[in-house]
Amino acid sequence: MTDQTTLDFATIQGILTSENVKMHASEVHGVMTGLVSAGYIFEDSDYIIVINDMLNNSEGLPAAVKLTLKAMFSDIWQNILDDSYSFQLMLPDDDDSIMERANGLGHWVQGFNLGFGLQQKNKAKLSEDVQEVLNDFVDIANLSDEMEEDEDTEQAYYEIAEYVRISALLCFAELGVPPENTSKEETLH
């Protein structure tokens, strides 16, 4: 499960669906990224409990889903710490309809705001930039479900998704807590 190719939206969503877990892969990725970007400590493994409580009604997660979440968490850390900005949002593929991709982006930002809010409880202490990002994410989560399949909509989607990606990195740069030492970072692979 640690192979980069297995950590795409379709694979993760397939695992969740096959295990009868009613979660959206984009939302799960968003929650974890929100936690990490808001200062969640790498060594803390309570994120699985958070995911289970928030997105699975505390019903318990199958072993395959727990392994998938651990791989996703490790992947987020590895990519968010990467100096080449390799971090990407987990969203439906470009082959999917613009509606499905926009829906995935909406789930991702909702998840991010949830995870971020669980970790950062005092919004007044956040910088203006981070507060603006969180407000923008609320607006993005509420984008219209009615979109036309055209080039302008595609372009807008890509621009918004890139803004979200860079904004998550900005939040991490301000509030994130990198692992204590580099040997921990090496275990992320």
Predicted model pTM: 0.89
Gap between the Cα atoms of 159 and 101, Å rounded: 13
Q: First-to-last CA distance in the chain? A: 11
Tokens 């904004």 sit at which residue?
Answer: 167
Q: Say what the pLDDT of residue 125 is.
A: 86
Among 69-78, 131-140, 180-189, the minimum mean pLDDT is found in: 180-189
Q: Say what the pLDDT of residue 58 is.
A: 79
Judged by DSSP in three states, 90 sits in: coil
Gap between the Cα atoms of 32 and 22, Å rounded: 17
Gap between the Cα atoms of 102 and 149, Å rounded: 11
Dump pLDDT digits (tens) for 117-176.
999 987 778 999 999 999 999 999 987 667 788 899 899 999 999 999 999 999 999 999
Dump pLDDT digits (tens) for 31-70.
999 999 999 998 888 899 889 888 888 788 999 999 999 9
Q: Say what the pLDDT of residue 144 is.
A: 66
CA angle 61/56/144 to nearest 5° reads: 135
Q: Say what the pLDDT of residue 179 is.
A: 86
